[in-house]
Amino acid sequence: MGMGKIMVQSSTKGLFIFLVTFAITIPCLEAGIGEFDDFLKAEEEEAHKIALDSYIPVPEEVVHDLNVDVHLAMEEANDTRRELKENHNEGPCESSNPIDNCWRCKADWAENRYRLSKCGKGFGRKAVGGLGGPIYVVTDESDGDMVNPKPGTLRYGAVQKGPLWITFQRSMIIRLNQELMVSSNKTIDGRGVNVQIRDGGGITMQFVNNVIIHGLHITNIKAKPGGMIRDSFDHYGLRTRSDGDAISIYGSSNIWIDHLSLSQCEDGLVDVIFGSTGVTISNCHMTKHNDVMLFGASDKFEGDRIMQITVAFNHFGQGLIQRMPRCRWGFVHVLNNDYTHWIMYAIGGSSGPTILSQGNRFIAPDNDAAKEITHRDYATPEVWKNWQWSSEMDLFMNGAKFVTSGAPINRAPYKKGFMMKPRDGTNGGEDHRKISWISWKTICSRKEYGGLGVRQLSEFNLALLGKWCWRLLRDREGLWYRVLAARYGVEGGRVKEGGRRGSAWWREIVRIREGADGVGWCREIVSKKVGDGSDTLFWTDPWLGDSPLCVRFGRLFDLAENKSASVAEMSLLGWGLEDRRGLGGDGCGRGKMRCWGSVKPYYILSLCRHISQIGWSGCQIPSLVTLFVVPLKVSILAWRLLRDRLPTKTNLVTRGIIPADACFCVSGCGDVESAHHLFLTCNVFGYLWSMVRAWIGSMAVDANSLPDHFV
């Protein structure tokens, strides 16, 4: 019994020592630190002091300042757009983004790179990077020695002492053999060149302050085994296996991540953990990733309560699944981002973070189970209902919904006009067009020609102008005919063109009347009886046959002294009825559709239909829209189906909306998703037709093509 007690006590003591050692070791392991020496302990203490000094007790003040900056930038951009229109698009930059408006709209930005340090917004606005230090140019894309990096490499510049502004001599691809440790007071500036960091380690900022990373393409980052790596000018040490993050911010403050393209990394795209604060992530383009952004290390690490992060002006695009971001503790301001894709959720969290969402655009996926933007982990509704999650002036599309909770977030006293508004995105807006599935010309075509019969404004305008031709030819005693005749003169029984003296309205009517510049439909659909020939031109009117005499007898027309003579005038010169018949006519122009006079009125709508079919060479498709027994939306669906204009995956791939490897059927059958496959051959959806036939008691042969269903 005594021996058993001793063994139990010894085991308990050993377990206690193990747990304490494990608790102390875990943060170091997650930090990638193999040996937490005195130098790193001092660095951690200094970084923590700076983080506490960077913490904003009233974060709503920063929210207010950013809203005001954006409001002013949008006002300036609107004024610039008006100026550009007046100056025929030759003028200043028209960016409505306050960050880009600060530096990109300056013509000399390449000569004055330090200006970028004044452009930070949000919680990371204090980051000035390498301001005050020299410019270091990366000339070598290699990454060989981790302890004593080669001069000219990115790793060499990243660990130098003091402020340093790092630029790149040319476009290059850098494959990091281990994670890149960036020391304090650095700017990595990739503007003007294409710098890719890929197929290797990512970028880590640990126990540092005041860093800007701008204008890099980071993709396919891998976890690295670790080893002896230099993390500053005065220190190197053993590091354990890295996680495979594109950007890892650990115990750091005043960090600004801007204009990065991030995708396909082994772990996260951006991690902000272990007491980091004063961070802005802006203008980044993120695609093809699962765990996008993680803010907060653990549900048990309350040191992240000081975390304050701004996520602004980013695009969350194709292939993203979740965590945009996922937050623990802290205050996160998410504004004016474009969320076009997610599979599980967009914004999530645990441990009671405060999240303020303003002016974002959320386009939910088609999956009904993933319409909710927000996701809360490890908490019952009784708990998370007290978390402060707010949505203000967000734009929700395709059924997206933001579940708010908690009391309203306290705000500084700014006007509603300073609030962020959703910006236009890829599905249409002031500066962006939606997908055009069917040409406007087809939509405006007549129904019997396969269109929808939508009236086109230009055709309607031509028809109205054509009526003026009709009136001026019929009503020779009317007021307008006499006004125009007095202004431009009369020749051959009709008002002259007037040359440059003619107004734009009158010149357009003459073009329609004469059939100039391809506008010849008026002569095709109207004609008149020659009568005594006083108002019919002998040479240029088609009064004999279907074409004018000046075309059929060009040599005689060239020899004629009076090319504007009327038929009556030529008759007085000796051209009789027999002579006219000798030229191939019967003395009377046969009207094709109309005759001048009061027999038939001028119908504008019928003329619109005639104009709309001019030049139409498309195939005729049954006019499903006119079947009143079929609901309109069903008719439109069938109309698009027959033209293969439904948003099937093959069509989306063709238009570059989704990647080529995402073209397979939504049913999971393994075949490419086309309209023919979905409606006819899919082993999941194809059974629909046999089920319908059984339901209505009809016997029919399976169709081999889509049009067979509409015979």
CB 573 within 8 A of CB 538: no
Q: Hey, what's the torsion of the CAs at 518, 521, 522, 525, to 10 degrees?
A: 160
Helix 457-474 and helix 504-514, axial crossing angle in degrees, nearest 10: 80
Q: How far apart, in whole angstroms, are the C-alpha atoms of residue 289 and residue 307? A: 24
CA distance 540 to 246: 76
Q: Determine the Cα–Cα distance for residues 92 and 336; give it in Å rounded to an integer.
A: 24
Distances (CA, A) of 278 to 251, 335, 337: 11, 16, 19
The residues annotated with a catalytic role in the active site are 323
- Enclosing H/E stretch for 650: helix 649-654
- The phi, psi pair for 331, rounded to 5°, reads -125, 125
Measured in residues, the chain has a length of 711
Q: The tokens of 599 are what?
A: 């027999």
Q: How many Cα atoms are found within 13 Å in the side-chain-facing hemisphere of 212?
A: 30
Structure tokens at 188: 């990595």
- The tokens for 590 are 């046969």
Q: For 517-549, give the DSSP string.
A: GG--HHHHHEE---TTSTTSBTTTS--STTS-H
Q: How far, in Å, are 134, 154, 178, 269 from residue 203 at the CA level?
A: 22, 11, 9, 10
CA dist., res. 312 & res. 284, Å (int): 9
Q: Evaluate whether 239 touches 216 at the Cβ level (below 8 Å).
A: no
